[in-house]
Amino acid sequence: MLPFAPAERLIIGAVARFHRAALPSGTHDHYARLKPAARRTVRWLAALLRVADGLDDTHQSLVTDLACEASPRQVVLRCNAQGAGAEECARALEKGKLFEQAFERKWVIVWCVAEARTCG
C-alpha cells in the first residue's frame, strides 16, 4: 500500500482517470467528492499529463528538450526534437484542450527541428 492519505488517493485517482479520455466534470462521483482546491489541482495535473502524453504519442522519444513561455493570454511550448514529429505536435495540441481550460490561456507549440514550425 502506498503511503497516501485518502484525499491524496482521490486526487491521484482523478488525475489518472482524466489524463486520457473525458474532461473533469462534477457529474463524475470521484471528482465530485473533491474540494474545489483539489479539483483545480486535478485539472492542472491531468492537463500537464495529457500534453506530455501527446508529446510522445508515437513512443519514439522525439522530444529532447522543452522550454515554456507563459503570458496572460497564451502559453508557448518550444520543443526541441530529433525528427519531424508532426503526429506528436498534433496530438499534444489536441490534448491541450484541458490545458487551455485549466490554465485559461491559449496553447501553442513551436516544434524546433532543422526548421521551426508553429503548430496551433
Higher pLDDT, 112 or 25: 112
pLDDT of residue 49: 92
Higher pLDDT, 68 or 22: 68
Helix, strand, coil content of the chain in percent (nearest 5): 45, 20, 35
Q: Please check whether residue 91 lies inside any domain of the structure.
A: yes
Please tell me the total count of domains within the chain. Answer: 1
Q: Please check whether residue 53 lies inside any domain of the structure.
A: yes
Distance of CA 48 to the CA centre of its chain: 3
Q: Determine the residue type at 38.
A: A
List pLDDT tens digits, range 69-87.
Answer: 999 999 999 988 887 677 8
Smallest CA-to-CA distance from 110 within 73, 60, 44, 63 is with 63
pLDDT of residue 60: 87
DSSP β-bridge partners for residue 66: 79
Q: Please check whether residue 1 lies inside any domain of the structure.
A: no
CATH of the domain at 27: 1.10.3210.10
